[in-house]
Structure 1
Amino acid sequence: MSLEFIGLIGPQEGSESQAPRGPVVDVEFIKAFAQAQEYGGFDKALLAVNTSAADSMILASYVAAVTDKLGLLVAHRPGFQAPTFAARQFATLDHLSRGRASINVITGGDSGDLQRDGDFLDKDARYARTEEYLDIFRKVWTSTEPFDHQGEHYRVEDNLTLVKPVQKPHVPIYFSGASDAAFEVAAKHADVYMMWGEPLEQVRERIAKVRKAAARYGREKHIRFSLSLRPILGATEDEAWARAERILQDARELIHLRQNKRRDKNFGTSNSGSSRLVELAGQRKVHDKRLWTEIAALSGGAGNSTSLVGTPDQVADAALDYYNAGITTFLFRGFDQLRDAVEYGQDLLPRIRALVEQQGSAKKVQNA
């Protein structure tokens, strides 16, 4: 199985444990962060979406201009643009980046954040809209003749765009969501189904559930799986856990301040993925030896918030266990963003690649 590593590029330096610094759109930081991940061997970087942050598509266009080969995984929320228009945007980005564009479809997420942009549909209605949205996306990207569409949420007449993606048959679709409604849309449309970091047993169960749903569309062998984690590395295991404890203490102070400053109607509890992380964190602080959940507990499961803690070799071994469970894409981001991206590129990614290669070579010898 092929192996892929995704990083993350935000518009400003900062995390749960580090107060933001620099301008809210820090051009020099974005450039340095993107180039560090490209140099470190990341295949792609996620440009996330949030109502309080800079626009992900415009950030991706800038990152494309300051990098040569780093893939651009652009988070996108269906419902705020016409699907025909958004599909042209992604096709155009794919041309300008010479075939480096991908889309991360975000449907569920924080209901409060969606409502800040005027989207008040309930979760099931949002997923129904997303399914129709992606049906239209595929037609825009692949149709060679004008097409019409009449659905519950969209009506299109006589659409034909000359701007087709460089990548064939279309821009890769990464899909997130932990609800049953999400599984159904992912089964039909996702090239890669993305999960937050959970214990091995739960990851295996989710992979099996999504594959079963994908089988109804003949896609069970097509869909791949991604896991998002926050590795915390140390020269020794004790050093790594001490660093995790410092991160937790810093995060306690910052998260308390942020929650007091803003009214968050659905903070960390408005989607299935967050609820799953909170439940896991309530069971124990550490799962599977080194899957650390205390930041997830502190933040209410807000986003990618679980960590693998240990030496580079220990974390690489844990990643190999996930690989053997069916994960072929890893999204890694740190708490000290730029420093951690460099460290991952130097110490972690090469180790995981080497372990996967060694395992593959051993299997070839056994089967010879």
Structure 2
Amino acid sequence: MDILWFLPTHGDGRYLGTTEGARAVDLAYLRQIAQAADSLGYYGVLLPTGRSCQDAWIAAATMIPVTERLRFLVALRPGVTSPTTAARMTSTFDALSNGRLLLNVVTGGDPGESEGDGIFLSHDERYAATAEFLAIYKRVLAGESVDYEGKHLKVRGGKLLYPPVQKPHPPLYIGGSSPPAHAVAARDVDVYLTWGEPPDAVAAKLADVRRRAEEHGRKVRFGLRVHVIVRETARAAWEAADDLISRLDDTAISAAQNAFASFESEGQRRMSALHNGRRDRLEVSPNLWAGVGLVRGGAGTALVGDPDTVAARMREYADLGIDTFILSGYPHLEEAYRVAELLFPRLPITVRPRTVEHNVTGPFGEIIALRYAPGTLRAAAASTQPPSPAPDAE
């Protein structure tokens, strides 16, 4: 499994829908999360896109010099950026990060936001424009000089002088639940992403994309974007889920659901339909909780439970073909540690936490009584030998 985390450039906190306990989106906090994800063994981080967020490309670029292995899943915005400009941005980021760029193709689902960015295309037209964008973009990154004239885009002599590190281009991801989204995924991208729906619904979407890809002689990988609330016990996890939305009032929920109803995103419609704004029907599948989606757009479900249960649910999705999991939790700094510590030992993850050498606590824990390294007392008792004191701690 490739396990990615989330860089919350639209804000963070302990509770949804309130300023209580909220955290500022600043360089220091984002750096803490990125460095934690890097050291804990996350494959990468997803950065959101849109006017509610700080710019994903600039935010990700500031994290390049403060991380070592971490990859950055950054949005490509057909219609907002030209394909040749996007190709130059891609090659520059990929080179300066030494091949740590991943690309999330986002067509946009909020008509108001799209119009604010100068895009006045219908839902299906946006996907048609995306297909044209990718046709130009991928050829330019592959080193071709491109002449192209389509319904939405026209390029003459498009080319790139500095190629990306990853060949022929960094991996392309895309989400979307509509037939046009599935068509683009099957023909043009490497990884198709779905938000966290019940397994049967996810299986149906994956089967459709897989079938379409086979018609093009291609294979597509699959990923799941979902929040996680994992605790040592199931009871503690469900209490944490309830606590996350404990500051929400009905006015906030109603306003959010009314806003989501204006979106053209089929994925957002499916997220909202899981709960219809009701607090009394939030567990929509075993351990899949839709409370986040009461006020948060996009991914609105969370896997909730003890470590063994959450890991088992993730393996159920893996059995459907999911090999990439993009996780998040509130607040993102603390939950990055909690998820890594509780779930990673139970999952076949691609990247492992960075090893810490020359550390007597090896690598976690405080010296007991300023004398004994954690774990040595029990081992010594079993062997009837007194433990050796640790080096002077102070």
User: Do both share a fold (TM > 0.5)?
Assistant: yes
CA distance in 1, matches of 2:173, 2:337: 25
CA distance in 2, matches of 1:227, 1:255: 30
Change (3 A) 1:255 1:217: farther
Query: What is residue 199 of structure 1 aligned with on the other side?
Result: 198
CA distance in 2, matches of 1:281, 1:141: 43
CA contact (8 A) 2:83 2:133 kept: yes
Is 1:246–2:246 an aligned residue pair? no
Q: Unaligned 5+ residue runs, structure 2?
A: 350-394
The one-letter code sitting in structure 2 at the alignment partner of 1:344 is V
> Which TM-score applies when normalising by structure 2?
0.82
Change (3 A) 1:13 1:289: same
CA contact (8 A) 1:110 1:271 kept: yes
Change (3 A) 1:268 1:313: farther
Is 1:223–2:220 an aligned residue pair? yes
Is 1:304–2:302 an aligned residue pair? no
CA distance in 2, matches of 1:43, 1:114: 31
Q: Unaligned 5+ residue runs, structure 1?
A: 355-368
Query: What is residue 157 of structure 1 aligned with on the other side?
Result: 156
Query: What is residue 27 of structure 1 aligned with on the other side?
Result: 27
CA distance in 2, matches of 1:147, 1:323: 39
CA distance in 1, matches of 2:255, 2:93: 36
- Residue among 338, 346, 351 paired with 1:351: 346
Q: How does 1:158-177 map to 2 (within 5 A)?
A: 158-177=157-176
The one-letter code sitting in structure 2 at the alignment partner of 1:208 is A
Query: What is residue 286 of structure 2 aligned with on the other side?
Result: 289
Query: What is residue 256 of structure 1 aligned with on the other side?
Result: 252
Q: Identify the structure with the greater helix proportion.
A: 1
Change (3 A) 1:265 1:318: closer
Deviation of residue 346 (structure 1)?
A: 1.4
CA distance in 1, matches of 2:242, 2:262: 21
CA distance in 2, matches of 1:64, 1:254: 41
CA distance in 1, matches of 2:259, 2:307: 38
The one-letter code sitting in structure 2 at the alignment partner of 1:256 is A
Change (3 A) 1:351 1:18: farther
CA contact (8 A) 2:9 2:48 kept: no
Is 1:319–2:305 an aligned residue pair? no
Deviation of residue 48 (structure 1)?
A: 1.1
CA contact (8 A) 1:34 1:63 kept: yes
Is 1:280–2:280 an aligned residue pair? no
Deviation of residue 352 (structure 1)?
A: 1.8
Deviation of residue 17 (structure 1)?
A: 5.0
Is 1:335–2:330 an aligned residue pair? yes
CA distance in 2, matches of 1:235, 1:209: 37
- Residue among 6, 9, 13 paired with 1:8: 6
CA contact (8 A) 2:222 2:323 kept: yes
Identity fraction in percent = 35
CA distance in 1, matches of 2:201, 2:91: 35
Deviation of residue 259 (structure 1)?
A: 4.2
Residues 261-308 of structure 1: per-residue CA shift (max 9 Å, x gap)? xx9755574310111122222494223321111332x23x72111011
